[in-house]
Chain A
Amino acid sequence: MEAYAATPVRRPSEPSSPSPTPSPSSLRQWRPAAQRNLRNQWSRLLAAKARWLAAATDGRSHASALVNAHLSRSYMPEMDLGVLKDMPGIRDKASAKLAHKELQCREMLLSAYKEMVLSVSDLVKASRGMRCFSKLSSSSPLICFTDCQDDLNDSGDGGGAPVYKWFSMLEFENFAQELVEMFVSELQLKRLIVLELLSINLKEGVDPSLEWSDELYDGEQYEFQSIGLSSGDSWQLPENWRGDVLQARRSGHTPSHEVLQVYLTSWLANVNIKMSRIDEIFELVGEEMQIKLC
């Protein structure tokens, strides 16, 4: 099916004359272009979801490796090394190795996080590219369809008509929005965990701890801005989050074993991701489009 050959931005042109209000004939021309676009965007959503989940799984294993290496290193001075205890410098060497491992895990955790940001960005962009606007090209007598709104009278939704059988453009958008909200809130939660896990190791070094307003990697801010999660230079705390708790954390002790366990479990649980609802949405939409989205 062509949905899978997706180039989501470019849309084919349809021959005939333009009409700003959806008359039966203009709707007839709009519909195939809108359907193609929706198929492409939903395939894109599906791919972004899979990419996100894979990155979250990778991130989980890097996060737990990081925590374990860190805990082992902190136990090292008291660890019973048996017959090895008399070897010169054994504790230092082991600690150095663990520190190196932590460094590697941090890098990998960060790149998994980056992958999650990119997937969410893709998800958001696809969710905003559902509408299909007609565009009269001055040089050609053909109607083109595009994803940017040229004519303010054209809202790109075919006047609210069903795009396939039942769902209007708005309903497709609402489903996509529901997905986006889950992934965005989960990304923010994971960002907080990444921030905290990366700070653990810094505490022993000279670097100051990371703050919520810090960029975790180059280009993070740009990516967040492009999907509207951050504006200007300020890095806003998500709505409802309690800034005072975040501030209080800076009193600066390493999280206890239990706290680390809660962090890792929260990561694993994907608290904000309701998998059954996600499957349901893709199933509903796939059924409507008569393609398989799972």
Chain B
Amino acid sequence: MEAVVRKVQQRVRKAREETERWDDLNSRFLSQFSNAAAIIARLPVLGDAKNYGVLGCVPNVREDLLGKQMESLELIFVSMRETLEEFSGIAKGLNKALRNTNQMVRGGSTLTAKQLQLQVGILPTIAYCLDGLQTLSDMHQAEYALKSSVISLLTWKSSSSDIAALRQLLVDQPNIPKDEGMKARELSGSMDPIVVSL
């Protein structure tokens, strides 16, 4: 029984390691977003011929400059979509870990409902671990979906207030509460559980 719990814990630990990349990815995603936002914010200024001052004497400079900026923007969008793919990879990985663990516990060895709730020493119960894994998977899946819709809303026509709101969503990551992260750590046993001696 203890072996099964340890195995489940190991799965949770692995899953948690996966999520550690999430924050790095998110800072990359944010800087890509800021670069895109900087270009989008400039476009109205660049689009207006009367802002060209002396450059007005150079033929087609406005069209060329706008073209170049749109090109850069397009490249940033491509790299954002690549980052998004990596988010998706993590979310899928978590979902897979959840399914596998569920199968391990409920499939092969038929553990009774009672066993799932059984607490061995200071180890968390299997049910608790599964529940945690489920939460971890759900919230990353939801956050991925949110990010995905954020970038589909970001276009060269976005207004500055829209951009600020979208950016805030990326910073806040509303689907990933900070204390849930703590809970995952606790489940995976990497944090010393508090032992209450009798």
Contacts and interface: CB of A to CB of B under 8 A. Distances in A.
Interface string B69-94: 10010000000000000000000000
A216 to B, nearest CB: 15
Interface residues of B, number: 19
Contacts of B56: 242, 245
Contacts of B64: 271-272
B1 interface: no
A2 B9 CA distance: 60
Contacts of B192: none
Query: Chain B contact residues: over half helix, strand or loop, or mixed?
Result: helix
Interface in A235-279: 237, 240-246, 249, 255-256, 258-259, 261-263, 265-266, 269-272
A196 interface: yes
A233 B72 CA distance: 40
A10 to B, nearest CB: 41
B149 to A, nearest CB: 30
Nearest to A188: B58
Given A262-B46, A265-B69, A271-B65, A256 B51 contact: yes
A76 interface: no
A192 B48 CA distance: 19
Q: Tell which of A192, A269, A270 has the most Cβ of chain B within 10 Å.
A: A269
A278 to B, nearest CB: 14
B42 A265 contact: yes
A262 B47 CA distance: 10
A265 B61 contact: no
A259 B59 contact: no
User: What 10 pairs between A and B have smallest CB-CB spacing?
Assistant: A245-B57, A259-B53, A269-B68, A258-B51, A242-B57, A249-B54, A271-B64, A246-B57, A245-B56, A240-B59
13 contacts: A242-B56, A245-B56, A245-B57, A249-B53, A249-B54, A258-B51, A259-B51, A261-B51, A262-B53, A265-B65, A266-B65, A270-B68, A271-B68
